[in-house]
Structure 1
Amino acid sequence: MPEQLTPSITRQLPPAVRFVLGLGILVGFAALGMALTTWLHLPLPASVVGLALLWAALSLGWVRLHWLEEAADGLLGVLGLLFVPATVGFIDYLSAGALWGLWLLVMLAGLLVGAGAAGLVASRLVKA
């Protein structure tokens, strides 16, 4: 099939079918990322590996962007709802009481160490 016919054929599908196909591709890359991190014992989040693989596939032309548009737009439409579990988990820790001071101290120390390391690396890169 010629390359020029592919976009018009997929755009002729109903929006629900395009959504399901795009979601299948996204879930497939997420599963591939999970499989690779498990199999290769990578110290990276599986979702990050899956997104890197999707980016590579998009860059190489193996996956077309219009295949994912319906699913991506649908997921972005409900993005706010995806933060509800994280917010509920955060609120669950509000009752930690005295431990909040310790948590803030640990986070502040991590911030300072990370910012200091980034500053040292940046200053050495600028001098080089």
Structure 2
Amino acid sequence: MNHRQFKGFLKDMEAECRDIPYHSTVRWLSRGKVLDVFSAIHEEISLFLEMKGEEMHCLKDINWITDLAFLADITMHLNNVNLSLKGKGQLIVDMHDQIKAFMEKLRLFERQMNNGHLTFFNRLASLNYLKLLLSAITKQS
């Protein structure tokens, strides 16, 4: 019943996503997609829970939301490297190169994040943009 109501709520809110898988038996690759969807509609989830008389304070905690966005982004990168390692006919040398390349990518991510560049972290970048916008609006008031 709640799931059907939630899907209707998302449709009414014209949310970015129309549903979120809620079964715990999701494969780990799909969990990255669940994180991405959850991150995209966390505000709608919070509103829905408030309408039901329940509240999850973490959905309003900017630090928790930032961690969620980072987790969704990094899991997407992990999923991509995992998918690149799958398939028949791959040589171990090629797979080793892909893993080494991913490790270099992680170092690049770290350097860029330390410099405030979120190019490879879409969810985190959009959240950061919103935080900056809210900060600017607050300063003008």
TM over 0.5: no
**Greater C-alpha radius of gyration:** 1
Task: Please state which structure has a larger fraction of its residues in helix.
Answer: 1
TM-score by length of 2: 0.29
Normalising to structure 1: TM-score of the pair? Answer: 0.31
